[in-house]
């Protein structure tokens, strides 16, 4: 997690909208994590539960490592 890096981190947030809905991405240079390790009490666990409640299968949250960066993508209808 970025918060565990003593030297700090770079964070980039992007967003777009198209006919399918809204896409957001949060990209950082932290060590990464697995969504499997996220508990319901964690902020991302809370976000996942809220997206499921609001959007059902139309809302998606995924996390991946790409080019030594952690990328969390959210997609939902607008």
- Give the domain range for residue 64: 2-76
CA distances from 58 to 10, 15, 22, 64 (A): 30, 17, 11, 19
Pairing state between β 69-76 and 11-18: unpaired
Checking if the pLDDT of 37 tops 90, the result is no
* Total number of domains constituting the chain: 1
Q: How do residues 10-33 score in pLDDT, each as one tens digit?
A: 899 999 999 999 999 999 988 888
| CATH number for the domain that contains residue 26 | 3.30.565.10
User: Is the entire prediction scored with pTM above 0.75?
Assistant: yes
DSSP 20-36: TEEEEEEEE-S----GG
Cα-trace Rg, the chain: 13
Assigned token pair, 3 = 């918060």
Cα gap 2→9, rounded to integer Å: 6
Stretch 36-45: mean pLDDT: 81
């Amino acid at each position: 997690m970025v918060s565990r890096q003593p030297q700090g981190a770079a964070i980039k947030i992007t967003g777009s909208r198209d006919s399918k809905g809204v896409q957001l991405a949060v990209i950082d240079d932290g060590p990464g994590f697995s969504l499997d390790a996220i508990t319901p009490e964690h902020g991302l666990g809370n976000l996942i539960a809220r997206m499921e409640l609001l959007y059902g299968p139309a809302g998606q949250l995924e996390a991946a490592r790409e080019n030594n960066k952690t990328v969390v993508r959210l997609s939902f209808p607008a």
